[in-house]
Amino acid sequence: MIAALLGGVLIGSAALLFFALNGRIAGVSGIIRNFLFGKERLGSMLFLIGVVAGAGIFYALGGSTPVARENFPAWLLALAGVLTGFGTALARGCTSGHGVCGLGRLSPRSLAAVATFIGTAMLTTFVVRHIFGVS
Amino acid sequence: MSGIVTLIAGLLFGFGLALSSMTHPQVVLGFLDVTGAWDPSLVLVLAGAVGVTLTGFYALRGLKKPLLADAFSVASSTKIDRPLIAGSILFGIGWGIGGYCPGPAIALLAAPNQELWIILPALLVGYALHEYLIGRRSK
């Protein structure tokens, strides 16, 4: 519980630092799209390398690593990935851009986005886990 | 200099994601599964993160320009339009199925398992689909 709160504070601090010094919003989906198709490819790549290295440092210090689910259908996970990419591009933000940064800026767009994707995700998880019994 | 800041921001972000277990789809789905054994972790992560950004952005509200760049690069639109809601619904479905939002899918490169080779390419396909179907028209 304390780790979750502290991790959140670090994520928020990263977003604040990025905004105050570089003037950019630390939204991961936007940064991935900038890296793939945008103009600020080098800067975006640096941020993404940082994300991977930051998680890597935590794992190197003995933090628990994510474990793959044994019986989760690959096609379903692939569908999830495509929807997440397409959806966050269309909405121009994900949990970091609309969640961490947008809510912090009191943006009405971001509040609407967060309420929509959390609500939809809860409903989807219910259907996938409890109606189709996949987990 | 701004490149170093970008790298440090990324490092803090990735370390924070891993420390808060948001890199574990099971923990995220544990929060989204309100009728199961509910895991409130994600609320604490969001509270910690938004607590910092809310106070920080408020404190910086008078700042004319960022310290290391010429101007802030921030979306100015306040319109709640169809792409915003439709995109958020699609993302919600994807997130609710797999438990991965874009950050954790990228961070999985630091501890690759067999899910990485599915979720990350699929995510990139989603971005590419958007770019070729819609992105060029909206630019």
pLDDT in tens, B87-107: 999 999 999 999 999 999 999
For residue A25, the chain B residue with the least C-alpha distance is B74
CB B90 within 8 A of CB A117: no
pLDDT at B138: 56
pLDDT at A54: 98
Average pLDDT over residues A89-103: 97
DSSP-derived letter for residue A64 is: P
pLDDT at B137: 55
Chain A touched by B113 (CB under 8 Å): yes
Domain that holds residue A87: 2-131
Low-confidence ranges of chain B (pLDDT < 70): 136-139
DSSP-derived letter for residue A73 is: -
CB A1 within 8 A of CB B41: yes
State whether B11 and A54 contact (CB < 8 Å).
yes
pLDDT at B75: 80
pLDDT at B88: 98
Helix A74-90, helix B82-98: angle, nearest 10: 160
Chain B touched by A35 (CB under 8 Å): no
For residue A119, the chain B residue with the least C-alpha distance is B92
DSSP-derived letter for residue A127 is: I
pLDDT at B1: 81
pLDDT at B43: 96
Q: From CA B139, how far away is CA B104, in angstroms rounded? A: 28
For residue A23, the chain B residue with the least C-alpha distance is B72
Using the predicted structure, report yes or no on whether residue A66 has a pLDDT greater than 80.
Answer: yes
The dihedral over CA atoms of B43, B79, B54, A8, expressed in degrees to the nearest 10, equals 30
Q: Report the number of distinct structural domains present in chain A.
A: 1
Closest partner CB to A47 (pick from B6, B21, B89): B6
Q: Which of B87, B97, B99 is nearest to B126 (CA)?
A: B87
